[in-house]
Amino acid sequence: MSAASQDTAVSTGRVTRTFLYLVLILFALFYLLPLYVMGVNSVKPLSEITGGNMMALPQIWTLAPWRSAWSTAQIGVEPTGLKPYFLNSILMVVPAVAISTVVGALNGYILTKWRFRGDTWVFGLMLFSCFIPFQIVLIPMAVVLGKLGLAGTVSGLILVHVVYGIGFTTLYFRNYYAAFPTELIRAAQIDGAGFFRIFWRILLPVSGPIAVVSVIWQFTNIWNDFLFGVSFGGTSQPMTVALNNLVQSSTGVKEYNVHFAGAILAALPTLFVYIVAGRYFVRGLMAGSVKG
């Protein structure tokens, strides 16, 4: 991939290249502008925002809005800040991502290497689940969670997200493993490895790229989810719902600087995941489509 882009870069002239960079820089600025606005406004006193220019750098630098957003801001009726909700989100997102990724990997393994009668149907139905809008499952899900006694708990949210995510993770792993030579599985069988041993020793070690895709995808979706959180969160609502409550509160003065800080806090984990795992992401998405 990098070799190909170098080729094109070499053959393009100087002028075109300058032009290209200008356009790219322009786009980059355009996309970075909101981040800039959020950043600078989260470190000024409120008076500077209400009284003047949103684009200007702060005259007085302060971290008070961040502290307030994190631990003292009014969320709904309690002045708890976003902290407890952030923890809720972490407690929800980590198991949900882990479970859905592992289940997806197992599904993909079975659907490609331990095929059975009707397996394409099973996969088709799982694929179908990717296209079901959130709204449709709200009421049935509420009933199920109620019956299981998980309504309004973090475990309930984990279950919802796992169920909803399995379709996607299965799709990723199935397509990735489909390109994995079946002869290797047969060789391992002759060597005496069983179902889980083959998965653990042969398949998982080469699943890195697609696991990263699955983790990023699931993490972003689950972390950013609002609808399931607000519907089933009960007393253990995730970060997104809390952020909404913070920003939408109709009483008192609108503390924009606190809102900005809160929004950045809410976006930080996904940003972190992208930066850490991002370069594998593209590689994983490309895997399977290109041989080698």
Partner 1 sequence: MGFLEIRNVTKAYGNVEVLHHVDITVEESEFLVLVGPSGCGKSTLLNMIAGLESITGGEIAIKGRVVNKVHSSKRNIAMVFQSYALYPNMTVGQNMTFGLEMHGVPKPERDRALADVAKLLQIDHLVDRKPGQLSGGQRQRVAMGRALVRNPDVFLFDEPLSNLDAKLRVDMRTEIKKLHQKLRTTIVYVTHDQIEAMTLSTRIAVMNKGYVQQLGTPKEIYDTPANIFVATFMGSPAMNILPARVAMADGRPQARITDAEGTERLLPFSQSNLAEWEGREILLGIRPEAITDPEGADRKSTNIVALANEVGVTEPAGSDTYVTMTLSGKDVIARMRADASVAPGEVFNFAVNMEKAVAFDPKTEERIKP
Q: Which residues contact partner 1 by CB under 8 A?
A: 181, 183-184, 186-193, 197, 201-202, 205-206
- As to burial, measured by CB atoms within 10 angstroms (0-12 exposed, 13-18 middle, 19+ buried), residue 87 is middle
Least distance CB 2 / partner 1 (angstroms): 19
Dihedral angle computed from the Cα positions of residues 80, 86, 92 and 98, in that order, rounded to the nearest 10 degrees: -160
Query: Quick one: 189 or 249, whose CB is closer to partner 1?
Result: 189
What is the distance between the alpha carbons of residues 218 and 96, in angstroms, rounded to a whole number?
A: 8
Residue 106 CA, chain-centre distance (Å), reads 21
Query: Quick one: 13 or 181, whose CB is closer to partner 1?
Result: 181
Query: Quick one: 186 or 279, whose CB is closer to partner 1?
Result: 186
Q: Which helix (H) or strand (E) holds 158?
A: helix 154-178
Taking alpha carbons only, the member of 120, 111, 225, 110 closest to residue 163 is 225
Least distance CB 192 / partner 1 (angstroms): 4
Least distance CB 204 / partner 1 (angstroms): 9
DSSP tag of 114: S
Least distance CB 37 / partner 1 (angstroms): 47
What is the distance between the alpha carbons of residues 157 and 238, in angstroms, rounded to a whole number?
A: 9
Query: Quick one: 86 or 199, whose CB is closer to partner 1?
Result: 199
Residue reference for tokens 């002239």: 13
Cα Rg of the chain (Å, integer): 24
Query: Quick one: 146 or 208, whose CB is closer to partner 1?
Result: 208
The end-to-end CA distance of the chain, in Å, is 12
Least distance CB 5 / partner 1 (angstroms): 24
Query: Quick one: 157 or 211, whose CB is closer to partner 1?
Result: 211
Could you give the C-alpha distances from 120 to 15, 176, 267, in angstroms and in order? Answer: 53, 16, 38
Taking alpha carbons only, the member of 97, 99, 123 closest to residue 110 is 123
Least distance CB 156 / partner 1 (angstroms): 38
Least distance CB 19 / partner 1 (angstroms): 40
Query: Quick one: 115 or 201, whose CB is closer to partner 1?
Result: 201
